[in-house]
Amino acid sequence: MNNKVVFITGATSGFGRATARRFAQAGWSLVLSGRRTDRLEELKKELAGQAAVHIATLDVRDADAVAAMVAALPAAFRPVRCLVNNAGLALAPIPAQKVVLKDWHTMIDTNVTGLVNVTHAVLPSLLETGAGASIVNLGSVAGSWPYPGGHVYGATKAFVQQFSYNLRCDLQGTGVRVTDIAPGMAETEFTLVRTGGDQAASDKLYRGTTPLTAEDIAEQIFYVATLPDHININRLEVMPTRQAWSAFAIDRDPA
């Protein structure tokens, strides 16, 4: 078994699943978590011929469950060399004044609390690994660039960025690296989740352009995690070539 272990949250779809496949291709051992057991089992079956795989059904919002899962990791899957905090979601792409409060809470509980829960639980293992260990947090360009309907989602990703920076300060001297990877438009299940399963809305968003793919981001995560031990990428903002910023919105009086 390869002594390099990667721990990936939200491994059942999108960036997480593509990242699991990329690390498996390189022979890393995998700890994969997510809320959909059937998908975890399918992924384990798919990757078992390439790498050792340990799966665990997990809701990252539950701090006790996260701590118990990490404590119960088989000896062969520790210490962890790379933690990929990928679990997250966006909901309610509508004006803030129309959002149901529960949707805000769900985003905060998953994107902020969940990330903190997992990081805190896995950190001792990363510190045990020391030089070359990496924490890769999945942020978003939404954490830096506001847009209508971004409200709490963008705010949670701003947290990811600042938490990553502050964590890096605290880990100075331990050898553990921290990176905030901030993707722009990427075609995954993200928009389906955000729109409540509206396939037409998802198709419309990506129609006529060339978005990033889950595999594009997985490649960047793998790159960051396999750099020489003395290199730390603090933040990596990745956008499709066909996506850029837009002009400020101006509210004007009627003509």
Please list the active-site residues.
153
Q: Name 142's Cβ contacts closer than 8 Å, sequence gap at least 6.
A: 90, 150, 153, 154, 157
Helix/strand/coil (H, E, C) string of the chain? CCCCEEEECCCCCHHHHHHHHHHHHCCCEEEEEECCHHHHHHHHHHHCCCCCEEEEECCCCCHHHHHHHHHCCCHHHCCCCEEEECCCCCCCCCCHHHCCHHHHHHHHHHHHHHHHHHHHHHHHHHHHHCCCCEEEEECCHHHCCCCCCCHHHHHHHHHHHHHHHHHHHHCCCCCCEEEEEEECCEECCHHHHHCCCCHHHHHHHHCCCCCEEHHHHHHHHHHHHCCCCCCCCCEEEECCCCCCCCCCCCCCCCC
Give helix 151-170 / helix 115-129 axis angle, nearest 10°: 20
Rounded to whole angstroms, how far apart are CA atoms 74 and 40?
17
Rounded to whole angstroms, how far apart are CA atoms 226 and 133?
9
